[in-house]
Amino acid sequence: MSRSGWIRLPALGSSVEPFALLLALCLPAAGTATSGRAIFEGKGACLSCHAIGERGGSLGPELSNIGVIRSPESLRLALVNPDAEIAPEYFTVVALTKGGQTLRGIALNEDDLSIQIRDSDGNPRSF
């Protein structure tokens, strides 16, 4: 920190993402558990992929103990840019059926001729 009270940071370029990340890491949390829950269950659509306890989807990791597993900085990054770090076992694939239906899921098994995915309802599907 300089004498003026300002922190000198390296140049980040013109990309907006590093600035959003920097703000998320430096600013104190301004929300509440209630507002966070409303976003998680509502417009954030987190429950479509993630579960907490018995509620939610199965395409992403279960988050009941995420605060014990990951650091606050890691959680902030995940909130600012959810796709920044995805474990390979949660990579999403999209399949288009012969009937024109689009299915999203997690790849379970794959070879040169077929793929098996777990769809958003947790059902295994083979193509």
- pLDDT tier at 100 (50, 70, 90 boundaries)? very high
DSSP strands (E only) in the chain: 51-52, 55-56, 92-96, 102-110, 115-119, 124-126
Q: Which residues of 74-95 are buried (b: 16+ CB within 10 A; e: fewer)?
A: eebbbeeeeeeeeeeeeeeeeb
Domain boundaries, the chain: 16-80, 91-126
Prediction pTM value: 0.62
Greater pLDDT, 16 or 119: 119
